[in-house]
Chains A and B, each alone.
Chain A
Amino acid sequence: MTEAIAATARWQSCAIVEIATRTPSIKSFFLSLSETFKHAAGQHVDVRLTAPNGYNAMRSYSIASAPSDSRVIELAIERLPDGEVSPFFHDFAQVGDTIELRGPLGGHFLWPGSSSKPVLLIAAGSGVVPLMAMIRHRKASGDPVPVALSLSSRTWRDVLFRDELLELEMSLPDFALAVALTREPATRRTDFSRRIDARMVADVAARLPGSPGCALVCGSNAFVDIAVDAVLSLGLEAGAIKTERYGA
């Protein structure tokens, strides 16, 4: 289980090559690496912004792209109204700007790899970013491990990577998707119109062809705690549950 990812992650300057509006509050930033690296699905980078007087601000962002696309990485950043770094990306950053980052970082919240039992993925909002890297990796690598994703969002428009996920639900074998909308009714029969709870997690896990061998949960701390309690009540051991908490 121990991944000793000990290579030195140096700071590098990356050009923004594309910006895509994903939801009303989330944009994707495609960054062209000057020093190519190969990340593992689930890892993040640290981004550093520097003001003219030398003041800088650093934040972590998960990599949304699959490891197979190694020259350009995708970050999906949610705009927090009073934040320092995320509004900069949304309101000021433009294609052609350069951004400093280092990575890939984090050796725990990782795709479990092939030959494992079914995998249960649970996220809220921008928490789906590292899980998207895993789903894209599963597709690109042809890894046959079954995956179910439970994704909570406020409204249908807020579902990050929605169209791609809907397409994968149709085309990727053994991939189940359940969207949970918290602020409007869901229209698809397989989705939910409420906040996450133990019943919902059990329902989504039951869409897997066998009991999950592990669960990866990402989102705000409050969301992760509720989701993890639900996964524990499925009978998974604590050691089989990995969490990424964005902090607040």
Chain B
Amino acid sequence: MVTRGFTGRQSGSELSDRIPPGQHLVDNFPVLTAGPTPRIDPADWTFTLRVGPRPVKAWSWSEFNALPRTRMTRDIHCVTSWSKLNTAWEGVAVDDILADAGLTAPTPFALAHCYDGYSTNVPLADLATGKAMVALNYEGQPLPREHGGPGRLLVPHLYFWKSAKWVNGLQFTERNEPGFWELRGYHIYGDPWNEQRYTND
């Protein structure tokens, strides 16, 4: 349905094939969070890998920082409709976290858990084979607190609520268990190219 009088800020550029349906470009980096922004001292930071309820391995900040480093420059897409191109991240690939724990493919699904009680579910297939990392740096600097520092999950090919801020662990689960927003009306998978914003989209 055409909206009378609306033309919009059409970029009409060669970039348009990088913008999923219903999204628009921003240059800034908006912040959206459901509660207070946690303060986590790296000295108190730990990252725990679980299979079901069982902890398999935990890393301190310095142990985690000693793992192999990965860099990714990716476009990111927030469900509130902004997209940001060429964001540069550095961190530890989920593959390398699994390898350090001596695991390959524990279960088909995972839940990311966070310091503020937030959680989100992502299939293993979307975390492994270089697709996702725990990001520690953004644009060459330590990840700012408001964007999830010290560390956030980065799953850039899914809507950005899947890239959980202030992450403190991955829990592998047999079933696809909905996380915080997935229990509150948002899509279980969240593919921006298929506009999977809300439940049943």
Contact = CB atoms under 8 A, between A and B. Distances in A.
Interface of A: 2-9, 13, 46, 48-53, 55-60, 84, 88, 92-93, 97-100, 105-109, 221, 225, 228-229, 232, 238-239, 241-243, 245, 247-248
B95 interface: no
Contact of A243 (B36, B197, B198): B36
Nearest to B178: A4
B38 interface: yes
A84 B24 contact: yes
Contacts of A59: 81
Contacts of B24: 57-58, 84
A242 B35 contact: yes
B14 to A, nearest CB: 16
Given A50-B2, A60-B81, A107-B185, A238 B22 contact: no
A51 B81 contact: no
The A interface, classified by DSSP as helix, strand, loop or mixed, is mixed
A51 B3 contact: yes
B104 to A, nearest CB: 33
B144 to A, nearest CB: 12
A55 B30 contact: no
A109 B34 contact: yes
Contacts of B198: 8-9, 105
Interface string B78-102: 0011100000000000000000000
A242 B116 CA distance: 12
B34 A88 contact: no
Nearest to A228: B36
Interface stretch (B4-12, B45-53, B61-69, B169-177): B4-12
B81 A239 contact: no
A97 B81 contact: no
Contacts of B183: 2, 4, 107
A48 B3 CA distance: 9
A3 B31 contact: no
A5 B32 contact: no
Nearest to B80: A60
19 contacts: A6-B185, A8-B200, A51-B3, A52-B2, A57-B6, A57-B8, A57-B9, A57-B24, A59-B81, A88-B3, A92-B6, A98-B4, A232-B36, A238-B36, A239-B35, A243-B34, A243-B36, A245-B30, A247-B32
Contacts of A2: 183-184
